[in-house]
Structure formats: structure tokens, C-alpha cells
Structure 1
Amino acid sequence: MNYTENYKAIKIDVQAVDFDIDSSIQQLIRDQIDKIGRHSSKINAVDIYFSTEGHGSSAVKIVGMRVGIPGPDVYAEEKGDNLSQLLKSVADKNIRQLEKL
């Protein structure tokens, strides 16, 4: 499932390979963008990638997030089982990178 939306003048592009993103995850994405936005007012785009590595019970979910800002973008990726926790984790990693700029 892929979708694009414009949220508070930030272009959000979500790509999910082999699974659907429900409305609760979409809202969590917006919440995390709000959280990141408190640390940088210059965000113009956020790309989020959801995928799965492996098969069956050994499958691991992967979430990657690129935050587009003037200059070098920041990117973080996390692997695990819980999409909500992974999304929060990559948002926190991107916030730490933005604070270093």
C-alpha cells in the first residue's frame, strides 16, 4: 500500500510493501511528524518505508523514515515486531539527528 498526503504543508509519502497501513497507523504517523516538527520548523517532506524481512514466524518488520529539510536529510531505520513502537523509535532517532544539526 502506498499513499501520499499533504499534512501541515509537509508532503508525506508512505510506501508499505506487502501489508496495509490502517487509519490508526496513519494517525500515528501524523503524531510523530508533529513531534518531529517541534524540533525543526523547516521540514518539507517525510518519506516512510514499511517492509517485512523473512517469512512466517521469523518475519521482522522494518520501518525507515527520511525527514526532508534544507541541506542534508536525516534518516533512521528500525527492525522489530510492533509497527507503532518502530515508528516512534525512528521518529526519536530522527529528532536526535536534527538536534545535532
Structure 2
Amino acid sequence: MSYTENFQGIKLDVQAVNVPTGVSIQHRIQELLTRMQKHYAGITHADIYLEDKPEKSVQAKSVRIRLGIPGKDAFASDTGDSFMALLSSVEDKLLRQLDKK
């Protein structure tokens, strides 16, 4: 499943492979973007890629996020077993990058 929306002035593009993007994941992504905007106001777009590889027994899920900002885009990714935990991990990585800008 994939969807595109304009969230608080940010063009949000979510691609989800083998992942049902329920309300809880969409809400978590919106919370993540809200926190990102508090640290860096110049975010123009966010590309979020969620993937579940059911054939893998360990670390079957992956999350990759690219934030469009002036200059070089911020990018972070992680793999694991829980999308919510992965979103938190990737958020922390992105916040560290934005703090350096």
C-alpha cells in the first residue's frame, strides 16, 4: 500500500510493501514529522518506506526515511522486528542529523 498527503506543509509519501498501514502507523508517522518540524522548520518533503519480508525469520521489517531539507537530505534506516520500535530508532537517527544542521 502507498499513499501521499500534505501534512502540515510537508509532502508526505509513504510506500508500504507487505505492510497494512493502519491508523496506528499513520498516526505514529505524523507524530514523528511533528517532532522533526520542532527541530528543523525547513522540511519540504518526507519519503517513508516500510517493508516486511515474511520469508526472513529475524529482522524481517525495515524502515527507511528521507527528509527533504535545504542542502543535503537527511536519511536514516533500520531493520528489526517491530515497526513502532524501528520508527523510534530512525527518528532518533534523523534528529541527530538535524541537530548538526
1:2 matched to which residue of 2? 2
Whole-angstrom CA distance in 2 between matches of 1:90 and 1:56: 21
Report the identity percentage. 43
SS at match of 2:15: strand
Following the alignment from structure 1 to structure 2, what is the Cα–Cα distance between the partners of residues 14 and 37?
18
Equivalent residue letter for 1:74:
A
| Structure 1 residue runs of 4 or more that deviate by more than 6 Å after TM superposition | none
CA RMSD after TM alignment: 1.3
Aligned residues: 101
Alpha-carbon separation, structure 2, partners of 1:16 and 1:92: 21
Residue 57 of structure 1 aligns to a residue whose secondary structure is coil
Q: Provide the secondary structure at the position in 2 that maps to 1:55.
A: coil
Cα distance in 1 for partners of 2:16, 2:80 equals 15
Paired letter, 1:49: Y
Give 1:24's aligned residue: 24
Alignment of 1:59-78 (within 5 A): 60-78=60-78
In the TM superposition, what is the alpha-carbon distance from 1:53 to its structure 2 partner?
A: 3.8
Q: What is the TM-score normalised by the length of structure 2? A: 0.93
The DSSP-based 3-state class of the residue aligned with 2:70 is coil
Q: Is the 8 A contact 2:50 2:62 kept in 1?
A: yes
User: 1:99 corresponds to which residue?
Assistant: 99
Query: Structure 1 56/70 Cα, relative in aligned 2: closer, same or farther at 3 Å?
Result: closer
Q: Which moved more, 1:52-61 or 1:67-76?
A: 52-61
Shift of 1:19: 1.9
Partner of 2:46: 46
In 2: Cα distance, 1:17 partner to 1:54 partner: 11
Q: Give structure 2 stretches of 5+ with no counterpart.
A: none
